[in-house]
C-alpha cells in the first residue's frame, strides 16, 4: 500500500507518552546542553540499548533518558519535535501523556514540565495543524499516596490538563489501589484513562472500568482472554488504544502477523492504533499503520476504520469529531 495514502488518512493519537518521543540523538543534544551524564557513550549505544525483554526492561531505559529534561524549553522542544513528526504522518489531534513523577523525583518542578509542554500544545494548531491536550499519568509502581500528592500539586494547572492516566510497571500494581485518586480527579473535572491488560490480567481491565471509572483503556489486548469482559467492552464501546509496535518490542505479542488487532476489530471493539513510545519502538503512528498493512495484511478499509475509531475514542466534542471524519 502506498505510504503517502497511509499518511494522508486523518488520525487522532491517544496513546503517546511524550517522554517516549526523545530520539537518541536529541537525548544527547539535550544532555550536552544541560551537563547531564547519560549511562551510554553516545546516541548509537543508546539506540543499541533499545532491545527489550519486557515492559520493565524498557521502563529502565525510558526513565534514565528523562534525566536530559531540565528546562521548560526542553519540554517544549520534545513536544514540538513530536508534533512535527506526527503531523507528517496524518495526526490531526493528539492527547498526550506525561509522567510528572519521573521529573519531580529528579528535582524538576511539575510547573516546568506542564508549562513547557503547554507552550507547544497551545501552539500546535497554528504551527502543525493539529489540536492537542495533556493527560497527567500516575506511575502506578510508586503507589497511591504519591499519586495523590502529584495530583494536588497539579491543581494550580488544572486548566492546562484534560485528564489523568495510569502507567508504568503494571503487574503487581492493580488499578483498584488508585480508586481514591481517580475519584478526586473526577471531582476536579478531569477525564480518566488507564493502562490495563498490557502485561496485566483481564481483571485489571475490570478494575480500571469499575474502580477508576476509566473512559478509555490503554492497550487492553489481554481483554481477549476473558469472554465476559470482551462482551462488555463491545456492548459499551469502551475505546481501547492499541499500540502494535510497542506490543512486539515489549514481547506482549511475538510479531505483527500474530497481533490480535484484526481479531479485535472483527469482534466489534472500538480499537485504535497508537505509537506509545515511538522513539523506542520503531516508529510513529503512520509507521504502525504501514507495518500492519505490510506485515499483517490489513487493507485500506481496515486502516480507515481504525483511524475513524481514533476520533470516536477521543475527548473531542461531537461536532469537532464530525469535522475530522
Ligand atoms: N506501559 C506502561 N507504562 C508506560 C508505557 C507502556 O507501554 N510507556 C511509557 N510508560
Ligand atoms: Zn503506554
Lookup: cell for 157: 494547572
Instruction: Assess whether 198 carries a catalytic annotation.
Output: yes
Residue-wise DSSP of 202-229 = HHHHHHHHHTT--SEEEE-GGGGG-HHH
Burial of 133-156, coded b for 16+ CB within 10 Å and e otherwise, reads bbbbbbbbbbebebbbebbeebee
What is the ipTM metric for this complex? Answer: 0.96
For residue range 245-302, what is the model confidence (pLDDT) as tens digits?
999 999 999 999 999 999 999 999 999 999 999 999 999 999 999 999 999 999 999 9
Residue 17 beta carbon below 6 angstroms from any ligand 1 atom: yes
Domains and CATH numbers, the chain: 3-324 (3.20.20.140)
Ligand nearest, relative to CA of residue 280: 1
Q: Which residues contact 299 (CB under 8 A, 6 or more apart)?
A: 1, 293
pLDDT level of residue 1 (50, 70, 90 thresholds)? confident
| Half-sphere exposure for 106 (CA within 13 Å, toward CB) | 17
d(C-alpha 1, C-alpha 293), whole Å: 7
Residue 195 beta carbon below 6 angstroms from any ligand 1 atom: yes
d(C-alpha 79, C-alpha 61), whole Å: 19
pTM: 0.98
d(C-alpha 49, C-alpha 46), whole Å: 5
Catalytic residue among 77, 198, 199, 308: 198
Residue 260 beta carbon below 6 angstroms from any ligand 1 atom: no
Q: What is the mean pLDDT of residues 192-214?
A: 98
**Spatial CA neighbour of 26 closest among 72, 63, 75:** 75
Residue position matching grid coordinates 482472554: 225
Amino acid at each position: 500500500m502506498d505510504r503517502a495514502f497511509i499518511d494522508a488518512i486523518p488520525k487522532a493519537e491517544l496513546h503517546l507518552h511524550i517522554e517516549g518521543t526523545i530520539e537518541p540523538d536529541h537525548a544527547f543534544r539535550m544532555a550536552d546542553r544541560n551537563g547531564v551524564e547519560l549511562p551510554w557513550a553516545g546516541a548509537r549505544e543508546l539506540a543499541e540499548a533499545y532491545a527489550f525483554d519486557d515492559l520493565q526492561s524498557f521502563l529502565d531505559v525510558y526513565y534514565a533518558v528523562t534525566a536530559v529534561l531540565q528546562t521548560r524549553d526542553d519540554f517544549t522542544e520534545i513536544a514540538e519535535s513530536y508534533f512535527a513528526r506526527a503531523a507528517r504522518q496524518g495526526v490531526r489531534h493528539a492527547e498526550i501523556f506525561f509522567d510528572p513523577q519521573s521529573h519531580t523525583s529528579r528535582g524538576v518542578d511539575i510547573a516546568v514540565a506542564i508549562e513547557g509542554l503547554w507552550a507547544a500544545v497551545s501552539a500546535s494548531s497554528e504551527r502543525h495543524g493539529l489540536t492537542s491536550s495533556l493527560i497527567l499519568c500516575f506511575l502506578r509502581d510508586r503507589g497511591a499516596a504519591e499519586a495523590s500528592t502529584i495530583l494536588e500539586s497539579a491543581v494550580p494547572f488544572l486548566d492546562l490538563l484534560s485528564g489523568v492516566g495510569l502507567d508504568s510497571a503494571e503487574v503487581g500494581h492493580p488499578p483498584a489501589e488508585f480508586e481514591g485518586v481517580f475519584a478526586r480527579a473526577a471531582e476536579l473535572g478531569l477525564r480518566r484513562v488507564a493502562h490495563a491488560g498490557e502485561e496485566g490480567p483481564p481483571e485489571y481491565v475490570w478494575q480500571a472500568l469499575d474502580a477508576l471509572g476509566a473512559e478509555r483503556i490503554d492497550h487492553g489486548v489481554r481483554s481477549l482472554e476473558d469472554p465476559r469482559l470482551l462482551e462488555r467492552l463491545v456492548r459499551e464501546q469502551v475505546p481501547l488504544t492499541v499500540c502494535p509496535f510497542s506490543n512486539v518490542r515489549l514481547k506482549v505479542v511475538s510479531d505483527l502477523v500474530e497481533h490480535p488487532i484484526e481479531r479485535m476489530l472483527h469482534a466489534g471493539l472500538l480499537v485504535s492504533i497508537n505509537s506509545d513510545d515511538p522513539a523506542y519502538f520503531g516508529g510513529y503512528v503512520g509507521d504502525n499503520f504501514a507495518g500492519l498493512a505490510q506485515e499483517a495484511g490489513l487493507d485500506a478499509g481496515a486502516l480507515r476504520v481504525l483511524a475513524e475509531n481514533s476520533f470516536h475514542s477521543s475527548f473531542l466534542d461531537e461536532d469537532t469529531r464530525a469535522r475530522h471524519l
